[in-house]
Structure 1
Amino acid sequence: LAGAQKFMTGGTSLRPFERMQFLRGSQNLFIDLGYETAEMLRLLDMVHEFHMAELTEAVKTDVDALRFMDDWGAQQSLLISPDQWRKLFKPLYRQYCDAIHAAGKKVFFHSDGHIFDIYEDLIELGMDAINSQLFCMDIEEIGRRFKGRTTFWGEIDRQHVLPFGTVDEVRAAVARVRAALDDPAGGVFAQCEWGVNNPPENVVAVFEAWEAR
């Protein structure tokens, strides 16, 4: 917001991979992708056309950034090959990023899972902030490769540390993220997403650790 002291983000429903799963079912879509059927490619075009129509309106809103997402990772790898991702989905993402940037806004992107193999691509596309499931990847290697080239949109381990860890383990996790990723050229948001069964003291510890200097 021009002249304001706040930075406002706006959500969108852009998620072509997940939208296709909603329409086809995950198992059917993976079979479609395996064969790259003509019907699947047509569906991809239709979903992309729908998303571009939405984005045409979203970029007119008075926000500083627009968010979109797709969950691309399993626990140890991408759900499809990096080459297929680059062939089918990266060009769509480029159009989303270009449209958002052309409107003078930043791009915030989220994906769960192990997405290390496409991190370089996401940065090359111009993702201004990336929210990923850091703790199923090598956080230090992410820092060595990408620190200062994008803004890391937080994340403290929601699978193990937040629900089951001690307060000291939570603080150590925050320190690890900060040490690996924080940089004046990009930085890292003090973000924490938690579930209903997470101990409240662990959630408090996340933000206390972020505030500590």
Structure 2
Amino acid sequence: MKPRKKVQKTLEFDSPPGIPRQAWVLPWAEEHYPEMVERLREEYPDDLVNAPAVYKKPLPVKGDRYKKGTYVDEWGCVFSNLQDGIIGIVKEPLIKDWKDLVRFKTPDYVLDLDKDEINGFCRHTDRFVLAGTFVRPFERLGFIRTLEQALVDLLEQRPELFDLLHRIHELYIKEVEAWAETEVDAICLMDDWGTQQGLMIAPDLWESIFKPMYRDYAEIAGHYGKYVFMHSDGYIIDIIPGLIEVGINALNSQVACMGVEELGKRFRGKLTFWGEIDRQNLLPNGSLQDIRDAVFQLLENLYDDGGVIAQCEFGPGAKPENVLEVFKTWNQFK
């Protein structure tokens, strides 16, 4: 069976012939373990792939997001990176004072996709294609105001906050629609909502402000026949029911910190678990048997005639042999 169909059957809980897979290989791994990365891609090729983010005019970014130094993204947010191979953080807000909001403009040029090139990519692969961009209203607020100030803003709830969120959301609605009009298979969302113990904001605040945004994105995707994939780090179990309700099909999250058994009891058969394997402890420190045990635990608790995508991140600290063992173990299940 072709990879695209295997992923679709997984998302529909329709007894796929095996577990589809996707390795998230960061530039750090390509730099430090190029031979192992090559082996990984040769022995366990991805069933899911990101479409290229191609625009009719180059986006006005500066620097390299994965290089040490400064990177300026298409919104004008400035990231400071102290290490090659990973993404930096925002230290200086784009909007430091609310009076600066009058000068703020959303980057509408991200809507000017080269759809012919993107569609050509989709037609020439048999893999399941994810949109080449991530829609992230909460993180974008944090990039514009800094995360610390954004959390304060959400508590104070001044009118300027909702003005800014409205502008962010309106652009993302248009961006989701632009990608949904292409031949990609899924739209991608990404907001890190949790610490390792709980949500960064109260659940009712998430429900009232951000859940409706995700619903809007999912409804647009559904109108065009697209699936919706989402990534969110941390302990986010309190918002997973809401994500399922609005139409998220697949979720990449830190399942280990939430408890695999608990996730299985509550959400098995309702959501596809897009990975992962514990990248904070197991991938850097675990034995090969620990890795095999973790994979078996995911299969036992989360698989329901589908509903699981084999995924892990090959990033800083991960032992290359452990990453390879993840996919070797998943590959046993046909």
Q: Distance in 2 between matches of 1:128 and 1:39?
A: 33
Alignment of 1:86-97 (within 5 A): 86-97=207-218
CA apart distance, 1:22? 0.6
* Alpha-carbon distance between aligned partners in 1 of 2:205 and 2:133, rounded to the nearest angstrom: 24
Report the counterpart of residue 138 of structure 1 in structure 2: 259
User: Which structure is higher in RCO with an 8 Å CA cutoff and minimum separation 6?
Assistant: 2
Specify which structure has the higher proportion of helix: 1
In 1: Cα distance, 2:183 partner to 2:322 partner: 35
Aligned-pair distance for 1:50? 1.3
Consecutive unaligned residues of structure 2, counting only runs of 5 or more, are 1-121
Counterparts of 1:34 and 1:123 in 2: how far apart (Å)?
Answer: 26
Distance 2:255 2:278 in 1: 7
Task: Specify the alignment match of 1:203 in structure 2.
Answer: 323
Aligned partner of 1:200: which letter?
P
Corresponding position of 1:67: 188
Match of 1:189 among 296, 309, 318: 309
- Are the aligned partners of 2:177 and 2:221 in contact in 1 as well (CA < 8 Å)? no
* TM-score, scaled relative to structure 2: 0.61
For 2:300, which of 172, 176, 179 is the aligned residue?
179
Matched-pair contact (CA < 8 Å) for 1:13–1:51: no
- Matched with 2:103 is none
**What amino acid sits opposite 2:314 in the alignment?**
W
Alignment of 1:31-42 (within 5 A): 31-42=152-163
Structure 1 unaligned spans of 5+: none
Structure 1 runs of 4+ with >3 Å offset = none
Higher strand fraction (1 or 2): 2
Q: Is the 8 A contact 2:176 2:187 kept in 1?
A: no
Residue identity opposite 2:308 in structure 1? V
What CA distance in whole angstroms lies between the structure 2 residues aligned with 1:168 and 1:86?
40
TM-score for both structures, normalised by structure 1: 0.95
Aligned to 2:206: 85
The structure whose Rg is larger is 2
**Which one of 135, 159, 174 corresponds to residue 280 of structure 2?**
159
Write out per-residue CA displacement over residues 93-134 of structure 1, whole angstroms, 9 at most, x where no aligned residue.
100000011011100111011000011111111111111110
Deviations 1:49-100 (A, max 9, x none): 1111212211111111111110001111011011000000001110000001
- Cα RMSD (Å) of the superposition? 1.5
